[in-house]
Amino acid sequence: MTKWMLRIASLAILTVTGLLAQDITGTWQGKLMVPQAPNGELRIVFKILKADEGALKATFYMVDRPIAGLPASAVAIQGSNVTITIPGIGGTYEGKLDADAITLTGKWTAVGMPMSLTLAHVKDDAAWEIPKPPPAPKMMAADADPVFEVATIKPSAPNRRRQFSIGSGSEVSAVGDGKRPDRLWPKNPNALRT
C-alpha cells in the first residue's frame, strides 16, 4: 500500500514540477470578439518577461488601437492557471495553460464583462506588429501668450412659440411662430390689400 502511495505522490510531484517548469515568457496573442470593433474583433497581445528578481511581468497591447502598451500589475501562475491583471483599464485575463504551454484558454474581463479569449504562444516572426503609440502632445512654450475666444450658445426650447417679423414698415411685415411658413399672417391686414 505504501509503495502505491509513494508512486502516486511522486507522480503528482513530477506533474506539478512539469507545470511549474513551463516557460510562459514571450508573446501571447489572440482575437477578442467585439461587435463594435472594426471587423468585429480586437487583436490582443501580452508580452511576458522575467524581471531581474525572477518574477514575471507583462505588457498588454491592443493592436487595433493606437495606444501605448499597458503594464500588468500582476502575473500569477498557480498550477496551469494563469492570471494577468491590467489595472490601467480595469482588465483581468484568467486562462488555463495547455500541457505544451502553447495555448491559454480563458476569459478577458473588463468593466465587469467577461469575454472568451484564447491566446497562442507565438514566435517573434509570427507575432503581430505592435503599432507605435501616437506622439506625445507638444507642450506650450512657457513664455506663450495664449488668446481664447469664447462663444456662448443658448439652447432654446424647441416647442416654445416665437414671434418674429419679416420686412420693414407696414407694407410687407408679417408675424409668425417660426414653425410653419404657411402660418405667417400680416401685422396689418389692410396693408396687403390693393
pLDDT for the residue 66? 74
pLDDT for the residue 6? 40
Burial 109-121 (b: 16+ CB within 10 A, else e): eeeeeeeebebeb
pLDDT for the residue 150? 83
pLDDT for the residue 11? 44
pLDDT for the residue 14? 41
**Contact (Cβ atoms closer than 8 angstroms) between residue 47 and residue 58:** yes
Q: Residues with Cβ < 8 Å from 89, sequence gap 6 or more? A: 60, 70, 110
Sign of the CA dihedral running 64, 66, 71, 73: negative
Name the stretches of the chain with pLDDT < 70.
Answer: 1-22, 157-194
Q: Which of 131, 112, 113 is nearest to 45 (CA)?
A: 131
pLDDT for the residue 153? 75
pLDDT for the residue 19? 43
Render pLDDT for 125-176 as a digit per residue (tens, 0 to 9): 888 888 887 788 888 898 998 888 887 777 776 666 555 555 555 444 445 5
Q: Which residues pair with 136 in a beta bridge?
A: none
d(CA 118, CA 26): 16
Which domains does the chain possess? 23-126 (2.40.128.120), 162-194 (no CATH)
| 3 state DSSP class of 65 | coil
**Could you tell me the pTM of the whole model?**
0.59
d(CA 14, CA 129): 38
